[in-house]
Amino acid sequence: MHHRTIIEPFRIKSVEPIGLSTESERVEYLKEAYYNPFLLRSRDVIIDLMTDSGTSAMSAHQWAGMMEGDEAYAGSRSWERMQAEVRDLTGMANILPTHQGRAAERILYGHLGGPGKVFISNTHFDTTRANIEFSGATAIDIPIAEGRDPALEHPFKGNLDTSELERLLTEHKDHVGAVILTVTNNSGGGQPVSLANAEHVSSICKRHGVLFLLDCCRIAENSWFVKNREAGMEGLSYRQIAQRMFALTDGAIMSAKKDALVNMGGFLAVREGTLAEACINLLIITEGFTTYGGLSGRDMEAIAIGLQEVFDPHYLDYRIRSTTFVGDKLHALGVPLMRPTGGHAVYIDAKALYPHIPPHQYPGQTLVCELYRLGGIRSVEIGSVMFGTYLPDGSLKPSPMELVRLAIPRRVYTQSHMEYVAETFEEIMRTREKVRGYRIIKEPKFLRHFTAHFEKL
Ligand code: F0G
């Protein structure tokens, strides 16, 4: 028999209670948080879809591994396990443990960057761009054109535009710090990159003598899309597909808070020795000794196990299909979405949902507040609150898109939680014309979305 229902491929051994609240309580909490969900207390959130980063549930095997963590300063057994696992996966000799992804970014891009340097990516994630720009270098995003059209269906919207890459490598000859493929492309909607695209990028980089890197924090999810969407890949395992992608590159950065199924951690993997040595020097100054970076032995133990578990085909099937389940439900309700659904999140096009709310009244922030008010669901605005800037006359230069991200933590929520999210959207759709926008009443100079205060219009 073929079952329609995708069951969670795990039983729940330990539970964490959810604090339920009423709509009128949430109206108060929202007001107290100045309509900014970053200022809400997690205990007042029913379903937290703010991020899939560091929010995974660990397995019984990982928790058991934590007890075996070897906390020695040097030469820890847990480090040996993590190092062996990461070496086997990436095929790279030099592995540097870091406390999370951005620590690896600061080390690598701090070394490769500097004024006059250019970095090219399908899309730099915020922290990647920030670390590159902090070094004085420039970050350029060149996703394929299809990747910029939210409603368009395409199997690999995360791909990098290779003809633009050729042009940029010629234009910036001798000044290119690295080419970076982010898999899956988080800022571009969690969309996958095909192995064919990675191969093409790799051959172009080799021809130009330029370093090619992978931001691989969702590499297992990307492998699912390659196996199930790319011709000729059916016979390979998810891990083999990931290994093929790593084999094309000179280095990789991983925030282990995603596909390593842990709450904290990361690493930098470098193929070549001289570059590795320069990075190791920086690692010791700011993160820690080479055999722990910023991590506890128990964290390294959990990463080693998580990197095994994440490639389990039953887990990956459940993972991608449960994100798609949410996307398909909302699509059927007529909610305007980024299509097709990506690996870790569903992105809603708030500009299309609330066409009567102009960008300077923040349609994305409006949806984020409505989701919390109606369902206690926490999400993130990725639009003019996050990326908007001010023109000299004081008016807002809006972000090109007004998106809201529902990021799904790994192994945390069940299908009924997701049914509840879809049900909340039924009400969002019913009341969409009545809703009004917001105004910012207080904001910091940088990264304003984290701490800004809003007022209802
Ligand atoms: N690269 C990508 C593609 C990411 O999505 C993130 C984090 C990082 C690097 C940085 O890793 O947080 O461990 O320092 N993304 C989180 C998110 C924060 O919510 O998407 P980190």
Between vectors from CA 262 to CA 56 and to CA 112, what angle results, nearest 5°? 120
Q: Say how many Å lie between the CA of residue 207 and the centre of ligand 1.
A: 30
pLDDT, residue 280, reads 97
If you compute the radius of gyration of the chain from its CA atoms, what whole number of angstroms results?
22
Residues 297 and 348 in one domain: no
From 204, 455, 224, 202, select the one nearest 342 (Cα to Cα): 224
Instruction: Kindly state whether residues 227 and 294 are assigned to the same domain.
Output: yes
Tell me the pLDDT tens digit for each residue of 253-279. Answer: 999 999 999 999 999 999 999 999 999
Question: Are 192 and 305 contained in the same domain?
Answer: yes
> Which DSSP string do the residues of 154-179 spell out, in sequence order?
-TTTT-B-HHHHHHHHHHTTT-EEEE
pLDDT of 187 over the 90 cut: no
What pLDDT is stored for residue 137 in this prediction? 97
The model's pLDDT over 297-330, given as tens digits with 9 standing for 90+, comes to: 999 999 999 999 999 999 999 999 999 999 999 9
Length of the chain: 457
The pLDDT mean for the chain works out to: 96
Instruction: Verify that 281 and 173 share a domain, yes or no.
Output: yes
Residue 6 lies in a domain: no
> Which residue among 278, 309, 340 closes a domain?
309
Residue 150 confidence class, pLDDT cut points 50, 70, 90: confident
Last residue of a domain, one of 282, 309, 336: 309
- Give residues with Cβ within 8 angstroms of 29, minimum separation 6: 21, 40, 41, 44, 372
Among protein residues, the one whose CA lies closest to atom 1 of ligand 1: 125
Query: Which pLDDT value is given to residue 10?
Result: 96
pLDDT at residue 148 tops 90: no
Domain span at residue 106 reads 60-309
Residue 115 maps to a domain? yes
Query: pLDDT, tens digit, for every residue of 89-117?
Result: 999 999 999 999 999 999 999 999 999 99
Q: Do 267 and 345 belong to one domain?
A: no
Same-domain check for residues 210 and 70: yes
Assign residue 447 the CATH number of its domain: 3.90.1150.10
In a domain, 3, yes or no: no
- Smallest CA separation from ligand 1 atom 12, residue: 101
Q: What is the pLDDT of residue 59?
A: 98
Confidence of residue 387 (pLDDT cuts 50, 70, 90): confident
Nearest CA to ligand 1 atom 21: 101
What's the pLDDT score for residue 279?
Answer: 97
Residue 5 resides in a domain = no
Average pLDDT on 362-369 reads 98
Give the count of domains, the chain: 2
Q: Say yes or no: 245 and 335 in one domain.
A: no
DSSP state string for 27-60 = HHHHHHTTT-GGGS-GGG-SEE-S-SSS-PPPPH
The answer to the question of residue 9 being in a domain is no
Indicate whether 136 and 43 sit together in one domain. no
pLDDT tens readout for residues 32-87: 999 999 999 999 999 999 999 999 999 999 999 999 999 999 999 999 999 999 99
Atom of ligand 1 nearest to the CA of 257: 13
214 within some domain: yes
CATH number at residue 283: 3.40.640.10
Report the atom number in ligand 1 closest to the C-alpha of 185.
3
What is the whole-number distance in angstroms between the Cα of residue 356 and the centre of ligand 1? 33
Q: Is the pLDDT of residue 340 over 90?
A: yes
Coil vs helix vs strand at 7: coil
Domain boundary among 261, 291, 309: 309
320 and 346 inside one domain: yes
Q: What's the pLDDT tens digit per position in 223-239?
A: 999 999 999 999 999 99
Hey, whose CA ends up nearest to atom 8 of ligand 1? 101
Look at residue 427 and tell me whether its pLDDT is greater than 90: yes
Query: How does residue 3 score in pLDDT terms, banded at 50, 70 and 90?
Result: confident
Share of the chain above pLDDT 90, in %: 94
Q: Are residues 225 and 76 in the same domain?
A: yes
Q: Do the domain assignments include residue 433?
A: yes
* Residues 126 and 220 reside in one and the same domain: yes
The answer as to whether 65 is a domain residue is yes
pLDDT at 47: 98
Q: Quick one: pLDDT at residue 275?
A: 97
Name the residue at shortest CA distance from atom 16 of ligand 1.
53
Verify that 117 and 244 share a domain, yes or no. yes
Residue 446 confidence class, pLDDT cut points 50, 70, 90: confident
Ligand 1: which residues within 6 Å by Cβ?
Answer: 51, 53, 100-102, 125, 127-128, 182, 186, 215, 217, 255, 257, 266
Among 369, 360, 326, 335, CA closest to 439: 360
Output the CA 21–ligand 1 centroid distance in Å: 30
